[in-house]
Amino acid sequence: MSYFVEMKDITKVYDNGIIANQAVNFSLKEGEIHAIAGENGAGKSTIMKILYGLEKPTSGEIFIRGQKVNITSPIDALRYNIGMVHQHFMLVDNLTICENIFLGMEITKGLVLDRNRMNELTLEYAKKYDIDVEPNEVCRNISVSVKQKVEILKVLVRGARIIILDEPTAVLTPQETDKFFQQLQLLKKDNYTIVIITHKLNEIKAICDRVTILRHGKNCGVYQVKTISLNDISRLMIGFDINHNKGKASVKRKRKILSVNTLEIVNNRGEKVVDNISFDAFEGEILCFAGVEGNGQNETIQCLAGLNQNYRGQIIINKQNISKMSIAKIRSLGVSYISEDRMMQGVNQEDSIMDNLINYKLNKKEYVKAGFINYRKLKAEAVDLLKNYDVKYDNLKQPIKMLSGGNIQKIVIARELENEPLVIIANQPTRGVDVGAIELIHQKLINLRDKHKLIILVSADLNEVFNLADRIIVFYNGKITAEITDVNNLTEEELGLYMLGLKKQNKNGHINE
Amino acid sequence: MNKVKKNDLIFEILRTFSAIIISFIIAFIIILFTSKEPFSTIKIFITAPFASSYALGKILTEAVPLLFTGTAVCIMIKAGQFNMIGEGLFYIGGLIGAVIVINISLPPIILPLCALLLTFCLGGIVGYVPAKMKATLSINEFVSSLMFNFIIYWLGLYLLGNVFIDPNYSDIATHQIPAAGKLFFLSYDNQVSSSVLIGLLFSLLAWVFLYKTKWGYYIRMTGNNERFAHYSGIKTKRTIVYAQVIGAAICCLGGAAYVLGNMYRFNWKQLPNYGFDGFIIAIIAHNNPLLIPIAALFMGYLRSGAAEMARLTDVTNEVVFIIQAIMIILIAARAFLYQLKQKRIRAMVEMEIKPYD
């Protein structure tokens, strides 16, 4: 039987010498939902970016309905009815939903835009696929899940018959994910072909017809989802079995380390993004901030780390009010911060591994004499540290951007945890890194928790939350809507209800639905 | 990975050289059109700088200002600052340096060093103003430093014409620089002055400062990724201020060093353009202070050849400015030779892949 799309022997070598795909074959049948599974860095996104014309393959051929084609840009791809929704949405915040959807292909009546027609079309598509959007809403104000819907509508309106979705559920709650899958089924019914890039195994099982598994840039096989078990997929993806059970040490609450009182943050558009929240945190616990992205967790974190000092209320760390302290001073109290924006904030890409490891050490006399940096001492420490964290590198002078994402994140974590700080703020510590690195990072965090440190974890990955958290506070709309101390008896569904604001605890811990 | 890095280096070098060769070829075509005896002209352009000890000295002398301004620009660009104030400060540094040694009597060597120190401080103080304006008021340093150049230049010209002028001299110029105030010549024959050593010293010091001290580290981190620097607890505003202050100070001192080393009176009535040339030198040297001397000497060679060509042939030295401009365009063009580089990387990686298959 012939395939709708066939990619043959695709090899992609990036400019920096990284091999993303190596002789990968990939095929799509019309009207199927096809998963591309693999760890981060396995080359899933790259192969789809090649199909979508964003990346040029180093070698290999693409056939659509048996015809050899040359796709060099997304415009080409759309000509072949291929559309893609990226992991990071590409919407213009200042425009309305409808304007975003028709951006670049506006319908006009003479010289003016035909807004009514565009609104009608938007609603028509939305209704057909059970997508709930308000065309005139400005994109800045809509939630991530709506943004995703807008992206899908954008692709549909542009006439795509093949829709590539890159990690579509990463930003969704379990309930939103269910709804999203129903919409995908509707699309499938209309003979749309859908590709889902994912590393979430249960989603593959829930919705996909076939799965292509990639590992280290190579194709490890194409399977009918019905005939392959989750364990098999997992083993093919990773190459070995991993143990998901991390087991929580029960550490008794002792000393209060962090206290946040009536914190209120107004962003630069004048919106109250954190609204009068208070909480305490104690040594020896992993406190998790759960919530859909954009509900105030990040803003709170920024204040704790001293990156934003424009807030009302009090933050007290180890009995000291940090509101007027410099970042360096806050760090010297024993606060470390693992940034969620690894490449832009967590490291300095252009500079060497060494330079990226020493940024906190130059305040200390033991490393600097009369302004001169004692590189010999720092180098010895760096070598030990990187060995301890199993970082793969050639030499300390190579630019850090030459390393893989997982190795870069290990370096960031190593640097932040090196001195066993009192408070570790970990913002998406394992986002976009491979399973091996995740294991290591989790283990290091747990070790520190067991050494009576406080770890504040923000993570969009609910698995991570359930694996690590000793206590969860849920952020919704800038407020804390729930505090969960008994994480073991919490279900994903219940957490989802809190995250969506459908369920709330009041001050006494009672639950309002 | 290491191989890829080595590959990078080879291509940086190859790229720079190809740019130079192509710009020479274009220059020769221009000479071909403008000269009646193109081949002897070309020969003079290329070989004259090496033909005599005087011409060789001329290379070094032409390189002196560029050593200082190139180094200064390096430091400022490393902090991410495009500050043009070096132009005006080089001018005023020359004037004030001359005035100091004319009006103060101290023993030789000590006197010029004292002048260098004072102009260094002066440059730092003046440079502080646009730097601080950038850090606290977010006034673009590029614009403000260009305006400062006008202020400094007209003030300098006013002082030269009205206060420090030597009325008994036929030109608008200061009094003669006394022997005690001169930076001694390394060789009287070709007039190479010890100012060139001071210039080299500053390039070296700048490298040590940028790569071996914590202040240099702060500058590099701030310039490459201000968010990372801020997140790391580095006071980025303070860093961009002191980087510009140091750059300004080096330019001002450079002006004094050049005037005391290579001139007999200060008589500039226009901005000498050395501050702007500093940017060219920094670009050619890839912002590495250790490569500044090479870039400056190369530029010195070009200018020396041009001067000889203008002296001995029918082509004027304007041609050298055309060469410079073409060269910089080529060196700065990142896409240049990119295709070739990609092919090499691919071939290397493919060789690495094979044994596993």
Quote the tokens at residue A373.
């940096």
* B53 within domain boundaries: no
- Nearest Cα of chain B lies from the Cα of A32 at a distance, in angstroms, of 32
Is residue B58 situated within a structural domain?
Answer: no
Model pTM? 0.78
Q: Which residues of A touch B1 (CB under 8 A)?
A: 17, 394, 398, 402
B198 part of a folded domain: yes
**Domains of chain A: residue spans and CATH:** 5-238 (3.40.50.300), 256-352+400-512 (3.40.50.300)
Partners of B221 on chain A (C-beta within 8 Å) are: 348, 351, 355, 359
Of B214, B348, B353, the CB nearest to A362: B214
Give B275-287 pLDDT, tens digit per residue. Answer: 989 998 998 888 9
Q: Is B337 inside a domain boundary?
A: no
Closest CA to A96 of A126, A148, A138, A133: A138
Reply yes or no on whether the pLDDT at B345 is more than 70. Answer: no
Instruction: Confirm whether B319 is domain-assigned.
Output: no
Nearest to A196 by CA among A426, A36, A364: A36
Dist CA A479 CA A486 (whole Å)? 20
| Structural domain harbouring B280 | 63-305
CATH of the domain at B247: 1.10.3470
Q: Is B353 exposed, middle or buried (0-12, 13-18, 19+ CB in 10 A)?
A: middle
Which ipTM score applies to this complex? 0.83
* Chain A residues within an 8 Å CB radius of B334: none
The chain B residue lying nearest A306, using CA atoms, is B231
**pLDDT higher than threshold 60 for residue B349:** no
Interchain CB distance below 8 Å, B235 and A22: no
Q: Is B343 contained in some domain?
A: no
- In this structure, the strands spanning A19-28 and A5-13 are antiparallel
Q: Which of B1, B233, B346 sits opposite A360 (nearest CB)?
A: B233
**Overall domain count for chain B:** 1
Contact B214 A395 (CB under 8 A): no
Q: Is B5 contained in some domain?
A: no
For residue range B223-260, list pLDDT tens digits in order: 999 999 999 999 999 999 999 999 999 999 999 999 99
pLDDT tens readout for residues B192-219: 999 999 999 999 999 999 999 999 999 9
How much is the average pLDDT of A139-145?
Answer: 83
Spatial CA neighbour of A476 closest among A300, A311, A281: A300
Is there a contact between A359 and B232 if contact means CB atoms under 8 Å apart? yes
Search chain B and give the residue with CA nearest A399: B5
Quote the mean pLDDT of chain A: 87
Chain A contact set for B5 (CB, 8 A): 398, 402
Which runs of consecutive H residues, i.e. helices, occur in A209-342? 230-238, 297-304, 327-332
Nearest-Cα distance to chain A for B341, in Å, is 9
For chain A, give the number of residues: 513
pLDDT digits (tens, 9 = 90+) for A293-332: 778 999 999 999 999 999 999 999 999 999 889 999 999 9
Band of the pLDDT at B355, cuts 50, 70, 90? Answer: very low
Please give the full DSSP string across A177-208, using - where no structure is assigned.
HHHHHHHHHHHHHTT-EEEEEE--HHHHHHH-
Nearest residue in chain A measured CA to CA from B349 = A17
A337 chain-B contacts, CB cut-off 8 A? 231
The verdict on residue B16 lying in a domain is no
Q: What is the DSSP letter of A340?
A: S
